[in-house]
């Protein structure tokens, strides 16, 4: 009974997280079209979320000493890189297209596993990659000579590549707990980092990096006191900013982390892929960004390919030794491409850095 209630609660939180992340683009694009530079919108989002997450950063301050390289890499790639590339992409191409391109990340992670780590991938995973690439070809309408802005498409691909860096860093950052049952004579190695602490410091480091890059002191702050146009309607810019910071970043991250603690990483990852569908529907309804039938069909194929690629993970061998992080290391199985285990058996959320 309790397990069923926990699963239902986890599914509900995962849906809330997907909806919150999916709504970031439709709130950011009117601000960009109102005159704010995409980098300035990214900085406002990350800096605002970092301020909200300061208490969590203080609580997990030991991570600064134990995992400095992981935190820096997470801040540079998972926060600054993904956010900057994604927001710059949606300033040039439709929100739904940018997000669908970004969801090639699970397929790219499999390429990393196969060709860099030289680990076997399943046939189903390869099929997922092929489907994702084929669907992307339909989304960008390659038969029309890349009708979309090529720079915008490259920026969306850059966001996908930064997500790959996020997955790899998360995997590396959770692989050195001490073996169970050992009685170490030396001080124990630090355990896997808490995902909330990593997110908090990733936002702080990302905000610091983006401050140097975006130079917000040159931003036209008066635009935040005015209105932005959303499909012909005027919306206060400050309300859009509050949505991006509080809902599309802080709430989305927190609910995402809690949901993967209540669900398995694979189930939470599948629910997370609904973010692309939600973003496309919201952009259609709120921004008037209508996609053609081949593009919609291609988007569905991209999502199906991402589902297959993300869920096709080798199973650990049966037996008592097949549970826990230590067993994963022995079996060489590792976590699902879209998630990395945390100290409590949860995982960092899938695709949860750019939106």
pLDDT in tens, 28-59: 889 988 999 988 998 999 999 999 999 999 99
Please give the average per-residue pLDDT across 135-144, as a whole number. 68
Return d(Cα 32, Cα 79) in angstroms, integer.
Answer: 19
Share of the chain above pLDDT 90, in %: 17
Taking residues 183-192, what's their average pLDDT?
50
The H or E element containing residue 85 is: helix 82-90
Q: CB of 327 within 8 A of CB of 160?
A: no
Confidence check: pLDDT of 324 > 50: no
pLDDT > 70: what percent of the chain?
67
Residue 170 reports pLDDT greater than 50: yes
More confident residue, 78 or 146: 78
Residues 335-345 have a mean pLDDT of: 40
Mean pLDDT computed over every residue of the chain: 74
**Between residues 277 and 233, the one the model is more confident about:** 233
Q: Which residue would you say has higher pLDDT here, 179 or 188?
A: 188
User: In the structure, what pLDDT confidence band is assigned to residue 190 with cuts at 50, 70 and 90?
Assistant: low
DSSP 177: P
pLDDT at 119: 74
Cα 289 to Cα 26, 97, 155, 352, distances in angstroms: 10, 10, 19, 23
Which residues lie closer than 8 Å to 313 by C-beta, 6 or more apart?
122, 125, 266, 333, 334, 335, 336, 337
Greater confidence (259 vs 189) lies with 259
pTM, two decimals, is 0.69
Local structure of residue 228 (DSSP, 8 states): E
Could you tell me the two tokens for 133? 């690439």
Tell me which of 77 and 106 has the higher pLDDT. Answer: 77
Measure the CA–CA gap between 152 and 331, rounded to whole angstroms.
41
Average pLDDT over residues 138-155: 72
């Amino acid at each position: 009974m309790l397990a069923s209630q926990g699963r239902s609660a986890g599914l509900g939180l995962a849906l809330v997280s997907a909806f919150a992340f999916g709504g970031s683009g439709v709130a950011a694009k009117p601000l960009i079209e109102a005159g704010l530079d995409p980098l300035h919108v990214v900085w406002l989002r990350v800096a605002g979320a970092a301020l909200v997450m300061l208490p969590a950063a203080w609580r997990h301050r030991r991570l600064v000493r134990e995992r400095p390289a992981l935190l820096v890499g997470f801040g540079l790639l998972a926060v600054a890189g993904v956010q900057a590339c994604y927001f710059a992409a949606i300033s040039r191409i439709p929100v739904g297209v940018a997000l669908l391109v970004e969801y090639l990340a699970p397929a790219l992670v499999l390429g990393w596993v196969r060709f860099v780590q030289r680990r076997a991938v399943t046939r189903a995973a390869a099929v997922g990659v092929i489907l994702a690439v084929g669907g992307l070809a339909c989304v960008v309408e390659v038969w029309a000579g890349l009708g979309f802005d090529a720079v915008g498409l490259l920026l969306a691909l850059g966001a996908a590549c930064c997500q790959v860096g996020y997955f790899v860093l998360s995997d590396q950052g959770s692989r050195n707990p001490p073996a169970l049952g050992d009685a170490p004579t030396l001080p124990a190695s630090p355990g896997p980092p808490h995902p909330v602490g990593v997110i908090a410091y990733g936002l702080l480091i990302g905000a610091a990096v983006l401050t140097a890059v975006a130079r917000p002191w040159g931003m036209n702050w008066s635009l935040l006191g005015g209105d932005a146009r959303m499909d012909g309607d005027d919306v206060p810019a400050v309300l859009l900013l509050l949505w991006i910071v509080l809902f599309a970043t802080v709430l989305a991250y927190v609910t995402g982390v809690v949901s993967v603690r209540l669900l398995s990483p694979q189930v939470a990852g599948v629910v997370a892929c609904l973010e692309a569908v939600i973003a496309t529907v919201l952009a259609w309804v709120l921004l008037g960004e209508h996609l053609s039938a081949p593009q919609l069909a291609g988007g569905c194929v991209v999502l199906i390919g991402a589902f297959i690629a993300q869920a096709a993970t080798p199973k650990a061998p049966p037996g008592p030794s097949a549970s826990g992080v230590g067993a994963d290391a022995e079996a060489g199985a590792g976590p699902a491409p879209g998630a990395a285990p945390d100290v409590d058996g949860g995982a960092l959320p899938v695709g949860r850095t750019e939106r």
